[in-house]
Amino acid sequence: MSLFFQTISVDEAREIARQLGSPAGTEDVPLEMAAGRILASQVKADIDIPGFSRSVVDGYAVTATDTVGASDAIPAMLALVGRVSMGIHDNLVVRPGECAYVPTGGALPAGTNAVAMIEYSESLGDQVLVKKPVAPGENVIERGEDFTAGVAVLNSGRRLSPQDTGVLAAVGCSVVPVRKKPLVGVISTGNELVPVGSLPGPGEVRDVNSILCASFLSSRGCIPRMYGITRDDRESLRAVLKKAVYECDAVFISGGSSKDDRDMSADLIREIGEVLAHGIAIAPGKPTILGKAGNKPVIGLPGHPASAFIVLLVIGNLVLQGLLGEDKIRSCTVRARLARNIPSTKGREDYVRVIVNDGLADPVFGKSGLLNTLVRSDGIVRIPAGREGLEVNEEVEVILW
């Protein structure tokens, strides 16, 4: 076997990753548990929202034509014939030349089509002076203006935000059909790894990737299943990999992905399934494996935690998108100007960690394997494969962590 990677481009890797995962089943959850979940079918409005034309201000419901030409000097004088109470629909009818008091959110009485704000009106016992004209529909939300009964409110595949769940409440969707959370196996390999609760001896390091990976999976709405640390030993790695593939919807394995005779992850994935790519033209994160066993994605992440995290963000995310049946990944970005030049190697897509302050993105230089760069930075800037670097003052998009 070649000692060198046959790397593929990040675009190719992302395309493979996008195709790898397919969604698990669906389940119903109570609306109060639905934020962050992926909607599994379209939701339609069951009724008109609002169900009645309502005022958006405190004021007097009027016939708009009665107020034409009204001013401080020559106000329109209208007879006050009633008051609308919240949550009550009475049979109040207001005729031309009349008005009724209506609070914010109250139903417009029959015969009226606009609301004169209280700030531009004066009450004189059973008369009201309106000092500013209102156009038909002014200060009113019409029945069904927000959502008409039967219209699609949210589509399948959407990750539900808190505001989405508010809208679902308005349309009476108290039980929400969502995608089941995919179960994703997490394996760390390396003879040097010790569990987080242990004190590393000489040459040993704590297992960072298991928790990094699990937290990322949870944050994206998956359920991580931890398989712990496996030594660089074919038999044990094969056994744990097989078990994880059998039990889970996908598996993420970190370490052992380089072209070294001890790095056997790719060989073992090939043994139980298929390796679709080994080596991506990305920095950091070149020693990445994209594979599958049966129809389950098996992803080999680089051992260096910083590299593993970038690969999770840039490529792993797309595998999860497929598993979750999510329509699009909504990442948080901000535009900023570069505080310094960033050199890069042509032919490779670089992801540079930056600190963002007052619209300036300052690259965090230093060895990319250092963990501190992950916590000192606010996000990453992508340098396309075709560029030899980015220049100071250039406007860039920062993908915030």
- Site residues (vs Mg ion, CB under 5 A): 190, 255-256, 303
The C-alpha atoms of residue 298 and residue 275 are separated, in whole angstroms, by 9
Residue 209 interacting partner from Mg ion, ligand AMP, none (CB closer than 5 to 8 Å by kind) = ligand AMP
- Number of chain positions touching ligand AMP (CB under 6 A): 18
Q: Find the binding residues for ligand AMP in span 195-234 (CB under 6 A).
A: 205, 207-209
Characterize the bridge pairing of strands 333-338 and 360-363.
parallel
Tell me the residue length of the chain: 401
Query: Residue 60's beta-bridge partner residues?
Result: 101, 116
Asked if residue 213 lies in contact with residue 312, where contact means CB atoms within 8 angstroms, the answer is yes
Among 158, 159, 181, 304, binds ligand AMP (CB under 6 A): 304
Question: For ligand AMP, which residue has the nearest CB?
Answer: 303
Out of 221, 256, 279, 363, which residue is the one contacting ligand AMP (CB under 6 A)?
Answer: 256
Residue nearest to Mg ion (CB): 190
* Closest alpha carbon to 336 in 272, 381, 369, 286: 381
Q: What are phi and psi of 244, to 5 degrees?
A: -65, -45
The answer to whether 193 contacts ligand AMP (rule: CB under 6 A) is yes
The DSSP code sequence of 291-334 is: EEETTEEEEEEPSSHHHHHHHIIIIIHHHHHHHHT-S-----EE
Distance, in Å, from the CA atom of 240 to the CA atom of 202, rounded to the nearest integer, reads: 26
CA atoms of 153 and 134, how far apart (whole Å): 31
Residue 368 interacts with ligand AMP (CB under 6 A)?
A: no
When binding is defined by CB under 6 A, the residue of 53, 188, 230, 377 that contacts ligand AMP is 188
- Of 254, 317, 321, 344, the residue at the interface with ligand AMP (CB under 6 A) is 254
Per CB under 6 A, 258 contacts ligand AMP = yes
Report which of 118, 98, 119 is spatially closest to residue 109, judged by C-alpha positions: 98
> Binding segment for ligand AMP among 12-20, 123-131, 173-181, 252-260 (CB under 6 A)?
252-260
Task: With beta carbons less than 8 A apart as the criterion, state whether 269 and 331 touch.
Answer: no
Smallest separation, CB 324 to ligand AMP (Å):
25
* Binds 254: which of ligand AMP, Mg ion, none (CB < 5-8 Å by kind): ligand AMP
Closer CB to Mg ion, 133 or 303, in the complex:
303
Nearer to ligand AMP, 67 or 188 (CB): 188
Binding of ligand AMP by 285 (CB under 6 A): no
Q: How many CB atoms lie within 10 A of CB 308?
A: 28
Q: Is 257 in the site for ligand AMP (CB under 6 A)?
A: yes
* 145: partner contacted, choices Mg ion, ligand AMP, none (Cβ within 5-8 A by kind): none
Residue 9 found at the interface with ligand AMP (CB under 6 A): no
Min separation Cβ 258 and Mg ion, Å: 8
Q: How many CB atoms lie within 10 A of CB 175?
A: 12
